[in-house]
A and B are shown apart, each in its own frame.
Chain A
Amino acid sequence: MVSGFALLGDVIKPKRFAGLFGAAPSVALASLLLAVKTQGRIYAAIEARSMVAGAIAFFVYAYSVYWVSIRYRATALMATLSHISIWLVVAFGIWLAWLKGRI
């Protein structure tokens, strides 16, 4: 599933359209199917609720990678890996404010 979405991103042009597949729900589909099978649908739905926070963090992450690549011409490795910290801060920030203590 993950490789399938990655391949689609490789063969499609223009690049900005292909970039959509960089945020495809590939890992989520595999994980949610596993969660439903082993823990049930309610458990998977709780994971999906947290995924909303992760996806907002992904949006901020991807925009910041776009910005440093355009503004500072940062290399792909530096831009994508150093900004993982932004994803962590935003995702756990939303988790603290919205999801902590919830079932």
Chain B
Amino acid sequence: MKVKVNLSVLKETKWYEHAGRFVIGGGITVFAGIIAKKFGPTVGGLFLAFPAIFPASATLIEKHEKEKKEKASVDPGFRGQIAVALDAAGATMGALGLIVFATLTWLLLPAHETWTVLSGSTIAWFIVSVAIWRIVAGSGRSW
């Protein structure tokens, strides 16, 4: 399965939809900081993997899928929900990469340069997530 970039999708997304995700992301970053300050880093750290952007993105995907079908005068049926399910399947694979990101950062950060650890962990997140995606896509299963 080939991965493609479709920039025309950006036109479908309104400025306030981008702004909404920006505000939610910033809000969760601030919220995690406040929780860490009040209850300590062991509780605050949990929220570094809080599904902050996912609900907003999934709702947008469903909305755009419905709008696309309605524009083409086609009954959207359950197309929106199926699109959200596929997005969630991808997020499940990304979450496995996120476990690797967190583990590497936890173990390496005390003894190594911050930028090296964070960029290395992010690359590891990407490699692990894509590898799982390739295995699942290659097997022909939805997940």
Contacts and interface: CB of A to CB of B under 8 A. Distances in A.
B9 to A, nearest CB: 5
Contacts of A84: 51, 55
Interface string A1-39: 111011101111111111111111111111111111001
26 contacts: A3-B22, A7-B10, A16-B133, A16-B137, A19-B88, A22-B58, A23-B93, A24-B125, A25-B98, A27-B50, A28-B98, A31-B32, A32-B118, A48-B102, A51-B46, A52-B106, A54-B47, A54-B48, A55-B95, A55-B102, A58-B98, A62-B91, A69-B88, A76-B55, A76-B80, A95-B42
Interface in B59-99: 59-62, 78, 80-99
Contact of B57 (A22, A25, A28, A32): A22
Interface footprint category on B: 35 or more
Interface of A: 1-3, 5-7, 9-36, 39, 41-59, 61-63, 65-66, 69-70, 73-77, 79-81, 84, 87, 91-92, 95, 99-100, 102-103
Contact of A2 (B26, B47, B84, B103): B26
Contacts of A51: 45-46, 48-49, 98, 101-102, 105-106
A46 B42 contact: yes
Contacts of A76: 55, 58-59, 61-62, 80-81, 84
Contact of B10 (A10, A15, A49, A54): A10
